[in-house]
Structure formats: C-alpha cells, structure tokens
A = this chain, B = another copy of it.
Amino acid sequence: MKTIKKAKAGWKQNPEAVQRDILRVATAEFARNGLSGARIDRIAARTKSSKRMIYYYFGDKDRLYARALEAAYAKVRAGEDQLDLAGLPPDEALARLVGFTFDHHRSNPAFIRMVMIENIHHAAFLAGSEAIRGMNLAAIDKLADIVRRGEAAGLFRAGLDPIELHWQISALSFFNVSNRATFSALFGKALFGRERQEHLRDHSVEMILRYVRV
C-alpha cells in the first residue's frame, strides 16, 4: 500500500536526481566561494530541492563539500578516459596527452578551483577519500606506458619518472587556470585570449617534449 501511495502521488520521488541536483549546485557554490565562503542557504535557494534535503542526504556542510570534491574528480577523470593513446608512437602520444591535459584543465575551471580550495585546506578531505586516490593512478599508468615505450624506442632519455612527468605537465596546465586572475591582474590579459592560449598549449607541449628527448 505504501508503494502504491507513492506511485499514486507521482510526485518528485527521485532521490538520485535530487542528490545530483544538489551536488551540481553545491559544486558551483564551493568552486566560486571556497569552503567557508560557500553558503548553504545559497545552495538551497538554487536547488530544486530544499535545505532540509541537503542535510538529509549529506549530513553537514563538510560532507557535502567532500562529496562535491569527489564528484568533481570523478567527472574530470571520466573525461580523461576518452583519450586513447595506445596506438600512437610515444612522442606523439605524449604530445597529445599534454595538449589534451592543457585544454581539459582550461575547460574545467570549476574543477581547478575545487582543487585549489582543497589545497587551501591542506587536502584534508582528499586524504579521507579512498575513491579519489584510486582514480588518479590511471593517469600515471598512462604516462608510465608512454615513458616506457619512449625509452625503449630510444626517443626519450633514461630515468624519467612518470609521476614527476605528471607533476610537470600538471604544473603548466593547472597554473594556467588557477592563477589566471592574479596573473592577468598583474601582467594584463594578453596571454588569456583564445589565440595566445593555443600558443601556450603548443609551447607547453614543446617544452615537455624537448625535456624528455634524449
């Protein structure tokens, strides 16, 4: 009878959709304002749901933030999985990976901001999330494969560390988005137009390639 009643009500009654909606709004709010700057009231106001439901599904602000962080990583890593590099020669694969990473970060400023915020918080929430750590090792695996193939082919110098290489690629791609505001406030917006950004990407690719070559 209970189920019948629910069915009859025909109302919202879609818990997963409600949670997705909340997470979407929460991510935007956290990305824009930081953890302490974010307001539960603003999230509730922009949600199709209500403040009560936020607490019902997520417990409190910190846990909502943790879930938004997880969701942001999941979404971004899902995008990265689209990239297929196995069939390419190692230098082309690396070039493509760098270019992709640069563009991908550039297309996901909300994710970048979530990571910035997490760093402000000393990665306290990331440390607690098993889920996210798992996702990121795949990225290293990809690089490790490229490095191995590049060394084997005599194209790359020996002794490259895939994690360090990931660090270098990330540095160039991440900084471009994370520090855009201060950089352009100090030195103008010239670097951040479409054309110059494409140059920056190409130069980043070249920088990495020059670095790994024998």
Contact = CB atoms under 8 A, between A and B. Distances in A.
A187 B200 contact: no
A170 B133 CA distance: 27
B126 A182 contact: yes
Interface residues of A, number: 54
A140 B175 contact: no
A101 interface: no
A113 B204 CA distance: 25
Interface stretch (A12-20, A29-37, A57-65): A29-37
Nearest to A33: B36
A172 B117 CA distance: 19
Interface in A66-98: none
A50 interface: no
A50 B121 CA distance: 27
A1 interface: no
A191 B120 CA distance: 19
Interface in A173-214: 174-176, 178-188, 190-191, 199-200, 203-204, 206-208, 210-211
Most buried by B among A35, A176, A179, A210: A179
A120 B119 contact: no
Contact of A123 (B185, B190, B200): B185
